[in-house]
Amino acid sequence: MSDASLFREFRENLKVKNAEDISTSYRRITARLNNDFWGLDSDQSHSMKIGSWGRQTAIRGVSDLDMVFEITQAAFDRYKANSGNGPSVMLQEVRTSLLRSYPNSTIKADGQVVGVYLGHYRVEVLPALRDANGDYIHGDTNSGGTWKTTKPRPEIAAVNSLNDTTSGNLKHVAKMLRAWKNRNGVGIGGLLVDTFAHKFFTANTAYNTATYADYPKLFVDLFSYLGQLPEQDYWWAPGSNQRVKCKSKFQAKARKAAVKCQSAIDASSELAKSKLWRKVFGLQFPKVEAAKKAQEQASRVADNEQFIEDTYPLDIRYDIELDCGIRQQDVQLDLLRRFRKSGRRLPHGKGLKFFVPSCDVPEPYKLFWKVRNQGEEATRLENLRGEIEPDGGSAQKFEHTSFAGDHYVEVYAVKDGFTVARRRIAVPIE
């Protein structure tokens, strides 16, 4: 397959498969709130799709959908005049309304939004007053209740405008960047992804007319660009110029992705090319024929590998760290990440204690582990492993260095039914 065919198919694979169901949920929520807040029978009025769905940069498996619902001036004045926490009163009234349509669903009022949990996705409703500029004044229940302004309209307009200028490439690339962040555990939000895509195309107008055949080189340049950006706490969203918080350091992972992209370009075989692109973008990047044949060959060996996204959709937005103590008779000799810097491989007969040094996912959440063996010996012994297992409550997992190969261990943080953080550590055994 040509590079153009691979990336064209990749883009198709990223299409949202349940778009009709999502649209039905938006309309049903809008109709309920219009009935209770406006006395109006409409599933369209006073509602606006925002977030990645509104900017049309969402991808398959999207779990976090956003909308604004416009409240009346009278309701807003009543909430603002409340002597207690006005935003909290507003969210609770919206929650009570939505429970009439979704009595058996989990509906949470939290911070600025009311979240409606609908199977493999949730719709977060932001009740707000639309001002004369078309912006939205909304509440925040934290710190006793405050009022803030958000500006999704100019953000959507800026993305749409540059997308037209770039022949649709801006949104294609923003979608592919989402696949990269989910595959590699980059804890940044969707608006920041779109902000980075917007910045890249603004600074690299040569790609305005890029075709899919140009995407391999485009992504080398894009990841190199991201890898050189300074570390800072926030960036400015296109159009609105509002602050977009950056909670995760993404630069090192972007630089690694740039190297993998260049390696894929230079690869001498289709199989090597396919493996490298899938390491960058994940399982939705298509396999070439050589990779499919290799998989058929490997399928003759018992392989029970599982993938976390098949059970808990990926919505990577937080950071989790993973390290491993190398042990001999219950004495820790070194840490695996430090040991690997020497270029050495682990000897046989060592104990391994995998642990989570830090995790910024808000409680409560659950941890899951995956141990994946690779190499000739693991294949011959039919010991590839790869099952997803729940953590026992200690945020630790114990293993041993038993046989040679480039193995790895992954840890996942799952919250409200979505995988919100992930981290992998390589385990090279001599």
Q: Tell me the C-alpha to C-alpha distance, in Å, between residue 395 and each of 199, 390, 405.
A: 38, 10, 25
| 17-150 classified as CATH 3.30.460.90 | yes
pLDDT band, residue 298 (cuts 50/70/90): low
Fold of 303-429: Immunoglobulin-like (2.60.40)
* HSE-up (13 A, CA, CB side) for residue 273: 17
| 8 Å CB contact between 52 and 62 | yes
Q: What are the tens digits of pLDDT across the range 208-229?
A: 999 999 999 999 999 999 999 9
What is residue 295's predicted lDDT score, i.e. its pLDDT?
A: 56
Whether 407 shows a pLDDT value over 80: the answer reads yes
> Could you tell me the two tokens for 34?
């219009």
Whether 301 shows a pLDDT value over 80: the answer reads no
The residue extents of the domains of the chain are 17-150, 165-300, 303-429
d(CA 334, CA 326): 5
What is residue 341's predicted lDDT score, i.e. its pLDDT?
A: 87
pLDDT band, residue 291 (cuts 50/70/90): low
Omega cis (within 30) before 364: yes
d(CA 414, CA 419): 4
d(CA 19, CA 231): 36
d(CA 7, CA 351): 42
Residue 38's φ and ψ, nearest 5 degrees, are -120, -10
d(CA 177, CA 181): 6
**Pairing outcome for strands 396-400 and 106-110:** unpaired
- In order, the DSSP letters of 289-320 are HHHHHHHHHHTTS------GGGTS-B---S-B
Q: In what order do the strands lie in the sheet with 385-390?
A: 385-390, 366-372, 405-415, 418-429
Residue type, 412: Y
Q: What are the tens digits of pLDDT across the range 155-169?
A: 999 999 999 999 999
What is residue 81's predicted lDDT score, i.e. its pLDDT?
A: 95
> Do 303-429 and 17-150 have the same topology in CATH?
no
Mean pLDDT rounded to a whole number for the chain:
93
pTM: 0.91
Q: For the chain, how many helices (H) and strands (E)? A: 14, 17
400: β partners: 351
**Pairing outcome for strands 351-355 and 366-372:** unpaired
Q: Tell me the C-alpha to C-alpha distance, in Å, between residue 343 and each of 340, 348, 419.
A: 5, 16, 32
What is residue 299's predicted lDDT score, i.e. its pLDDT?
A: 52
What is residue 9's predicted lDDT score, i.e. its pLDDT?
A: 96
Vertex 246, ends 240 and 247: CA angle to 5°? 150
DSSP label at residue 314? B
DSSP label at residue 173? H
Distance of CA 107 to the CA centre of its chain: 22
Whether 70 shows a pLDDT value over 60: the answer reads yes
Q: Which residues are within 8 A (CB) of 37 and not within 5 positions of it... i.e. 6 or more apart?
A: 46, 69, 71, 72, 75, 97
